[in-house]
Structure 1
Amino acid sequence: MHVDHTQPLEYSSGQGRLNIYGFWVFLGAEIMLFATLFTVFFVLENRTGSGPNGAEIFEIAPVLAETFILLTSSFVIGLGIHAMRIGNKKAMMTFFAITLVLGLAFLGLEIDEFVTYIHEGATLQTSAFTAALMTTLGTHGAHVTFGLFWGISIIMQVKKRGLTPETANKSFIFSLYWHFLDVVWIFIFSFIYLKGMM
């Protein structure tokens, strides 16, 4: 395997560059998935039937907390990638671990939010609005959950094998995925929550 030492570690092999390109293609498909969910939500958001609407169930405090936690995790994983690029394995693993703890905290708040909605009568079966809301939030939450398991496997590989072109490539691709989840959340925060509260 030819390694180009003029490139960052994650881009240093031809296979690594192909993997990153392939992952961008995958993210294109993910963008289409979330674009479809948002479209369905916007079509159905006023179809509340006898159930509550967004203004009745959305609360700003937990949503701001979720947003702050997820944005912070995105910043921290950026620090992890920087540490990886300067060859500091311990700092990189620490930043990745902090990212996952923040992801877990986000998930805990989201689950608590779901439980609150259900207690307030907003379930998948209540109305078209609540079904679209739960599906969109649930899909994002499922992606975060998958990300937690993926992140743990990345940390374990780096711990075992060190910082190689392969582990750096996997770590960088994981960071792209995590940033993507953040971008999706910003859209959820802006166009579902804030719009719904107005």
Structure 2
Amino acid sequence: MSSAPAAHGAAPAPKFAEHFASLEVQNHAARLGMWLFLSTEILLFAGLFACYACYRFLYPEAFAEASRHLDLTLGTVNTVVLITSSLTAALAVHYAKEGKNNMVALMVALTLLMALGFLVIKGFEYSHKFHEGTLPGKHYSYQGLQLPGAPMYFTIYFLSTGLHAFHVTIGMGVLAWMGIRAITQKNFGPNNYTGVELASMYWHLVDLVWIFLFPMLYLV
């Protein structure tokens, strides 16, 4: 590993692997790798969106009616919470560039708090669905909506929102790691902020996917 010498009392200079010509090249490779990874994640959710479109074409009345059985208020609150969390994630990158590690930790903590709130609200939604029987596939038992295609709507609902919640949990883990580094190592700065930037990029993907899921499931 190669690194530049650090001034006395300053944070350790960022290191780069020997197969990279410079730190800048290493950071560029890391960003490119993240963009490639995010593109595969988009393809994953694109399959769910295509599945939704096909079944909505087959059962338009059932899907329109089933969407009205979701809690629009909770969905809207979750949307606001998640969009706001993207702001704090972006601010974490901003402060990492300036070397303000305490602010990085604070922004990460706020992002995690909102992410936890998102999951708690989603848990309340799931609990209500379990109680009334609007469950996936053969487990569907809700008597208030017996149109053909309604069980498929809730199958897609649980699959897409559950997969999204899984990504939220992963994003929380990555951000928490960056927050811990900001507190313990205090080595983020103008030349060493790529880790926070990549974690923020992943979190923006989580936000972007929900921006598509919300109107698709709750509004259309």
TM-score, normalising length from structure 1?
0.86
Aligned with residue 70 of structure 1, among 82, 87, 95:
82
For residue 98 of structure 1, what is the aligned residue in structure 2?
110
Larger radius of gyration: 2
**Structure-2 residue corresponding to 1:182:** 207
**Matched residue, 1:6:** none
* Alignment pair present for 1:170 and 2:195: yes
Unaligned 5+ segments in structure 1 are: 4-8
Contact 2:92 / 2:196 at 8 angstroms: preserved in 1?
Answer: no
- Are 2:157 and 1:145 equivalent residues in the alignment? no
5+ residue gaps in structure 2? Answer: 5-13, 15-21, 141-150
Tell me what 2:9 maps to: none
SS at match of 1:13: helix
Residue 127 (structure 2) pairs with residue 115 (structure 1): yes
Deviation, 1:29, is 0.3
Question: Take 1:109 and 1:154, find their aligned partners in 2: how far apart are those partners?
Answer: 25
Residue 91 of structure 1: how far off its partner (Å):
0.7
Matches within 5 A, 1:24-103: 24-45=35-56, 46=59, 53-55=66-68, 57-103=69-115
Instruction: Return the letter of the residue paired with 1:150.
Output: V
The whole-number CA distance in structure 2 between the counterparts of 1:128 and 1:20 is 38
* Per-residue CA distance 1:10-63 (angstroms, 9 max, x = gap): x953212101110000000000000001111222243898xx7122x1122101
Counterpart residue identity of residue 98, structure 1: L
Residue 150 (structure 1) shift: 1.7
Give the conservation status (yes or no) of the 8 Å contact 1:41–1:133: no
Residue-pair matches, total: 186
Query: Structure 1 residue runs of 4+, over 4 Å off?
Result: 164-167
Give distance in 1, aligned partners of 2:197 and 2:25. Answer: 15
Q: CA deviation at 1:102?
A: 0.3
RMSD (Å), alpha carbons: 2.3
Q: 1:42 and 1:119, CA in 2 relative to 1: closer, same or farther beyond 3 A? A: farther
- Distance in structure 1 (CA, Å) of the matches to 2:202 and 2:125: 24
Indicate if the aligned counterparts of 2:97 and 2:188 stay in contact, CA closer than 8 A: no
Q: TM-score, normalised by structure 2?
A: 0.77
Asked whether the equivalents of residues 168 and 206 of structure 2 are also in contact (C-alpha less than 8 Å), the reply is yes
Q: What pairs with 1:16-27 in structure 2 (closer than 5 Å)?
A: 16-27=27-38
CA contact (8 A) 1:76 1:99 kept: yes
CA contact (8 A) 1:154 1:167 kept: no
Q: For residue 181 of structure 2, what is the aligned residue in structure 1?
A: 157
